[in-house]
Chains A and B, each alone.
Chain A
Amino acid sequence: MVDIAAPTAALLERTRSQFDAAAHALLLRKRPAWPLAIIRILFGLVVFGWTATMAVDVASLLGSDALVPLEFASQDGWNWFTLESTGAAWVAIGVLLIASVAITLGWRPTAWLAVTFVLLVAVQRRNPMILNSGDVLLRNFALILAFMPTGAALSVDRWRRHGRSALWTAPDVAPWGLRLIQLQLCVVYFFAFWSKGGDLWHNGTAVSTVFRIDDITRFGSPGWLTTNVALIGLFTWGTLAIELALTTLLWARRLRPVLIGLGFLLHFFIDVFVLVGFFGPLMMIGLLSFADADWLERRIAARRATPQPA
């Protein structure tokens, strides 16, 4: 009889140690905080843009006498608090504007990101008739970013703790929070791809239909493009291919720069032709979570080392 206990134990031990090493590399091995800082600044600017554009329409969309009256505010989920008047809506918008500036500058960003999440949920549940995917993504990113040390670099917090000279340096941080935003991004791409099961996506004509939905096009229907079978096929299947690639291949380090570029191109074209609000900018911010922190550190260090003209 062959004794399999020893080889099995060795195999289990080897597997466990490989798993530990992979988990450590994925979640714990420290990297420069540059990507987090860049994401935080850009996210703060998007929150500012979202809030400023909403501020213009507070009375019409969120006020006491808005298009959608208070009794039809979303009753889904927990009500953090309800915006029961135009004044309450203005307070929420005002605090969101302050939060967006604080996040951009890196002044206690974790606390302000949590505040932003709560306020976005309250504002968005006040009028569910006007929301799109970008609005939901905005609050999801706010919550996920609250789990990250986003103020570790390029921030007022760093300036206050370590002085002005520290502003252009970044500490190394554990990347476990960053993995959550990367997961959220890949989930968006995967389910956007997965749900496109209709015949128009399969036969390569879906983008022609999208371009002819006049009420969602930004500059009107691009007539010459909607009838070009070859280009429409390329755009339709290209969209599916890029979405699938961004779900899976983005994790392959070598392919990452190309895929980030393709993702930017995809969202740029969508934004040019279709009214998608803040969805495109947010997805581009999400793509930056895959930026190579070590590469960024080398570039910035080289720039720091270059003598500046007197």
Chain B
Amino acid sequence: MSGLDATERPDAHTALVRTRVGKVVVAVLVIVMSVWIVGPNIPASPVRDKVDVVWSPAVNAGFEQNWSVFSPNPRAQALEVVAVAEFGDGTTTEWTLPELGQTIGAYRSYRWRKWQERIRLDSNARYWDSSAAWIARDVARGDELPVSVRLIRRWRDIKPLTANGIVDTKVNEFEFHVWGRVDG
């Protein structure tokens, strides 16, 4: 006992394991939670499909597991998503991700970078129009929205390091979506 004195009442968590029933409850809880922590990480397979139901309640509740980081290899592209907005008078402005700084701002900018990483993918095409519309509102001059916003992805392939150093590669560019203002 390291607390105030030996008569201090134990917390509910510790008191639970003083009875046989409590011990059984704790054992069940620990086993269930352990399965929920380990199970969803098991690689996809027909066997896994059969037992998925054991941990699906946890996943549905939001207790998820996916810890693949830079795997199986790190992404072999450096990328950037920009938007070019054109106004009624023919002038254009380029929108880029907000610059948020490297200290505290780093704990905001990782979210924008994640958006950038995902929005460029064709598999996320359903998000393109709404993202471009948001950018149109972001660059609006007062009440004037741009007439169009073009979403552009730029990327540079990253070649693996060799004994001779690294090889520079050119930046590629591709316009992947055009949003147009709807008047009326």
Q: Chain A residues in contact with chain B, CB under 8 A?
A: 27-28, 30, 32, 49-50, 53-54, 56-57, 60-61, 65-69, 72, 76-78, 80, 117-118, 120-121, 124-125, 129-133, 136, 139-140, 143-144, 147-149, 151-152, 162, 165-166, 169-174, 176-177, 179-180, 183-184, 187-188, 191-192, 195-201, 203, 205-206, 208-210, 212-216, 218-219, 226-227, 229, 232, 275-278, 297, 301
Contacts and interface: CB of A to CB of B under 8 A. Distances in A.
Given A173-B13, A201-B73, A195 B67 contact: yes
Contacts of A60: 134
Nearest to A191: B67
A165 B34 CA distance: 38
Contact of B3 (A53, A117, A169, A198): A169
A131 B34 contact: no
B111 A57 contact: yes
A264 B17 CA distance: 33
A89 B147 CA distance: 30
A195 to B, nearest CB: 4
Contacts of A162: 4, 8
A173 to B, nearest CB: 5
A67 B78 contact: no
Interface of B: 1-4, 8, 10-14, 16-17, 23, 26-27, 29-30, 33-34, 37-38, 41, 59-80, 102, 104, 106-119, 124, 126-127, 130-131, 134, 137, 156, 158, 160-163, 165-166
B74 A67 contact: no
Q: Which of A174, A210, A227 has the most CB of B within 10 A?
A: A174
Given A77-B59, A124-B62, A210-B70, 13 more contacts: A53-B104, A78-B62, A131-B111, A165-B4, A166-B3, A171-B10, A174-B14, A191-B65, A195-B68, A199-B73, A209-B76, A218-B102, A227-B165
A130 to B, nearest CB: 4
Contacts of A117: 62
B67 A30 contact: no
A56 B111 CA distance: 12
Contact of B11 (A152, A227, A229): A152
Contacts of B10: 171, 173
Contacts of B162: 205
Contact of A147 (B29, B109, B110, B130): B29
Could you tell me the dominant secondary structure of chain A's interface residues?
helix
Nearest to A143: B63
14 contacts: A27-B30, A61-B111, A65-B134, A72-B126, A130-B115, A169-B3, A171-B2, A174-B13, A176-B13, A201-B71, A205-B161, A209-B161, A216-B117, A275-B106
Most B-side CB within 10 Å, residue of A32, A53, A144, A214:
A53
Contact of B17 (A53, A144, A174): A174
Given A72-B126, A133-B69, A169-B4, A209 B13 contact: no
A149 B11 contact: yes
Contacts of A27: 17, 26-27, 30
Given A57-B108, A187-B38, A277-B110, A212 B166 contact: yes
4 shortest A-B CB distances, which residue pairs? A198-B73, A121-B62, A198-B72, A171-B3
A276 B117 CA distance: 13
Contacts of A209: 73-76, 158, 160-161
